[in-house]
Amino acid sequence: MMEPNYAVFRAQMKDLKSDMPEDEIYQRYMGVIEPGWGVQHTPAIGEDGMYHYLYITERDDGKIYIGKHSTKDLNDGYQGSGYEIQDGPKLGRTFKTTKLHFFKTSDEAYMAEKNIVNASFVNTPKYVLNHVGGGMSDKPDIVSAFMALPPSNAVAAEQNARRVVMEVAPPLKAVRSVKGKAWSFSMLEIKPGEVLDYLGPKGGTCKVLDDWNVEYEGKKYGLPALDKLLNGGIPFCKNTLNSFKRGAMTLNEIKAEIQARM
């Protein structure tokens, strides 16, 4: 199997423009990734005794997720930290993960992740499961700040990243509001009176009351609270929008469809 040219891959990524059509961006990635992208016959261990690598996880519908992972065990089964990956198995999704490229340090791997999982890549929800740019943090405002820090070892980099988060990150509520993650029912185009199905083992239905609340067995709940109630005190899915569906689509799939139209 032909080994991919990682230098060519990175070069093509630098040429991406934010206004490119999704199809063109996706083909640029897949054109370099195939065939045999990132098959590492001899994984390289890092300077600190751990493996630091980028990986690609492909969902059964063809959507892809690219991320960075550090581990001492290459068989730890890690497939990604995004909620699309974490919640997928509960929703009947299957995934295939391939290690792309190994690095000597965690810093170098994060640098590569930032370069590849850039704004153009993230802004292709039709094909991509990543929701934020690559780098040290899943908070969009932190990535560029972290990457401006001087080179350091992995431990110092993580300490610096935590400092940057504390100093420049806006409150979580503000980030959610700016990024549109706290979606109301009206934003999801769901009207009061509509019925939602619960996907947890217990099943059940609830009725939408207003923008933020539903009715279940005569009582009023927010979705996260009802999710925990129906699943024995813990959420069925990390992202509550994956725990409920309207018709054939989960609320998260409805959100993705609306975002694709924006």
Asked whether residue 167 is assigned to any structural domain, the reply reads: no
Asked whether residue 85 is assigned to any structural domain, the reply reads: yes
Tokens coding 25: 């961006």
Using DSSP, how many helices (H) and how many strands (E) does the chain show? 10, 9
Final residue of a domain: which of 135, 158, 177? 135
Same domain, 211 and 92: no
Asked whether residue 209 is assigned to any structural domain, the reply reads: yes
Round to whole Å and give the CA distance between 26 and 21: 9
Final residue of a domain: which of 118, 135, 152? 135
Same domain, 12 and 129: yes
Q: Record the pTM.
A: 0.60
Same domain, 209 and 125: no
Tokens coding 139: 């908070």
Round to whole Å and give the CA distance between 63 and 37: 16
Asked whether residue 99 is assigned to any structural domain, the reply reads: yes
Other C-beta atoms closer than 10 Å to the C-beta of 163 total: 13
Same domain, 117 and 205: no
Same domain, 88 and 206: no
In order along its 262 residues, the chain shows pLDDT tens digits of 344 455 666 666 666 676 777 777 777 776 665 544 455 556 888 889 999 988 888 888 888 888 999 999 999 999 998 888 888 888 889 998 888 788 888 888 888 788 788 887 888 888 888 888 887 643 333 333 333 333 334 344 434 433 333 333 333 232 223 244 568 898 899 999 999 999 999 999 999 999 889 999 999 999 988 999 998 888 899 889 999 999 999 999 998 888 877 6
Same domain, 99 and 199: no
Alpha helix positions (H), 124-239: 140-147, 154-168, 172-179, 223-230
Structural domain boundaries, residue 14: 6-135
What are the angstrom distances between the C-alpha of 73 and each of 43, 49, 85, 89, 110? Answer: 11, 11, 20, 22, 19
CA 109 to centroid of chain Cα atoms: 17
Final residue of a domain: which of 135, 165, 180? 135
Round to whole Å and give the CA distance between 208 and 191: 7
Asked whether residue 177 is assigned to any structural domain, the reply reads: no
Asked whether residue 75 is assigned to any structural domain, the reply reads: yes
Same domain, 119 and 206: no
Same domain, 19 and 128: yes
Same domain, 14 and 89: yes
Same domain, 97 and 208: no
Same domain, 122 and 16: yes
Asked whether residue 19 is assigned to any structural domain, the reply reads: yes
| Number of separate domains in the chain | 2
Asked whether residue 237 is assigned to any structural domain, the reply reads: yes
Same domain, 207 and 97: no
